[in-house]
Structure 1
Amino acid sequence: MKTFLAVSLAVLFVGCAGPRPARMGVTNGKFIPCLDSPNCVSSQTSDQSHGIEPLSYKGTPLEARARLLATIKGMTRANIVTEQEHYIHAEFTSAVFRFVDDAEFFIDDPQKVIHVRSAARLGYYDFGVNRKRMETIRQLFNNALP
């Protein structure tokens, strides 16, 4: 019985990462919209339940990008997946169940903002984890001002 329970839990937890979404990135300056589930936030939506303010910055986009990368790399269980001139994709893994969330950042230099999108790969509800993480990133990013 103990072996069955251990194997069952192992199978459950191995699958918690979920596959990386096929549709990610920025097209014509826009992320893909959040789905109806409450496990996603985006600065490019007018929907109040999913909406979040973008990060604002002064200086050059290169400086903002470097500061953002340093912020993300300084966080626990963060992994940079894609690092482009105006786009960053990072994965954040939860400590206990190893759930993976995808965070995207788009540096919009004419507006002097960094648009953000963060979504859970699995499940329907994330208990506000993605919103809290983006607000933590905002705070760390702003505190890292030169």
Structure 2
Amino acid sequence: MSVAQTKSRLSIFRILAIALVVIAIGWIVARMAFPNRPTIFASVPPEGIGVRTGQLAPCPSTPNCLSSQSSDPEHYIAPLSANEATEEQFSSLKSLIQQRDRAKIVAETDNYLYAEFTSPWMGFVDDVEFVLNSQGKSIDVRSASRLGESDLGANRKRVETIRQQLLQGKGSEA
């Protein structure tokens, strides 16, 4: 390989590296300037959102979903307020979601809540549903990422944070 070819390859790699840095900086600036604007990673809401015969949609086989109604241990998470869920707790839950950054309530009824949670940098969207159990004994939850295979535990962490905030009564102040 000649010196000219080596310099040419180095120039190409420098140009590519500079282009990647410019794209990354542009992305960061755009996310900071427009944090609530959807990104290419927002995708479209999935079909099947909602309650059908008292049940939330089952989780797909991917590990980026969890549900308190799942019988599969990989996708299972305990319902919120497992002892006795009241309409007041459900109202507190709504207040908690309204207080969270990058959370938007999309649909609600007296016993159902559907919210979208958007990640801060990449703009990935997770669909999270809550339904007050018909016997009033729990608030069932389903949280699923729209895209990808793994969510790196983001759905579970979010639900557990909401559970702790509900237990501490932080939703009733709004």
Q: Compute the TM-score of the two structures, normalised by the length of structure 2.
A: 0.74
CA–CA distance in structure 2, aligned partners of residues 51 and 65 of structure 1: 21
Matched, 1:25 2:42: no
Task: Say which structure is richer in helix.
Answer: 2
* Cα RMSD, aligned residues only: 2.3
Q: 1:60 aligns with which of 86, 95, 104?
A: 86
1:60-80, Cα deviation, whole Å (9 max, x unpaired): 32x122111011112121111
1:47-106, Cα deviation, whole Å (9 max, x unpaired): 110000001164632x12211101111212111101111100000000110100000000
Aligned 1:68-83 pairs, distance under 5 A: 68-83=93-108
Kindly provide the amino acid, as one letter, of the partner of residue 6 in structure 1.
Answer: I
Q: 1:6 aligns with which of 2, 23, 27?
A: 23
The structure number with the bigger radius of gyration is 2
CA–CA distance in structure 2, aligned partners of residues 115 and 127 of structure 1: 22
The question of whether the paired residues in 1 share the 8 Å contact of 2:128 and 2:143 is answered with: yes
CA–CA distance in structure 1, aligned partners of residues 112 and 148 of structure 2: 26
Q: 1:41 aligns with which of 66, 69, 75?
A: 66
> How has the CA–CA distance of structure 1 residues 59 and 31 changed in structure 2, closer, same or farther, with 3 Å as cutoff?
closer
- The alpha carbon displacement at 1:36 in A equals 0.5
CA–CA distance in structure 2, aligned partners of residues 92 and 60 of structure 1: 24
- The alpha carbon displacement at 1:116 in A equals 0.2
CA–CA distance in structure 2, aligned partners of residues 127 and 14 of structure 1: 20
CA–CA distance in structure 1, aligned partners of residues 161 and 86 of structure 2: 22
CA–CA distance in structure 1, aligned partners of residues 61 and 107 of structure 2: 26
Could you list the runs of 5+ residues in structure 1 that have no partner in the other structure? none
CA–CA distance in structure 2, aligned partners of residues 87 and 18 of structure 1: 23
CA–CA distance in structure 1, aligned partners of residues 161 and 147 of structure 2: 22
- The alpha carbon displacement at 1:112 in A equals 1.5
Aligned 1:119-130 pairs, distance under 5 A: 119-130=144-155
CA–CA distance in structure 2, aligned partners of residues 111 and 51 of structure 1: 20
Identity %: 43
Q: Which residue of 2 aligns with 1:98?
A: 123
CA–CA distance in structure 1, aligned partners of residues 136 and 150 of structure 2: 32
CA–CA distance in structure 1, aligned partners of residues 39 and 118 of structure 2: 13
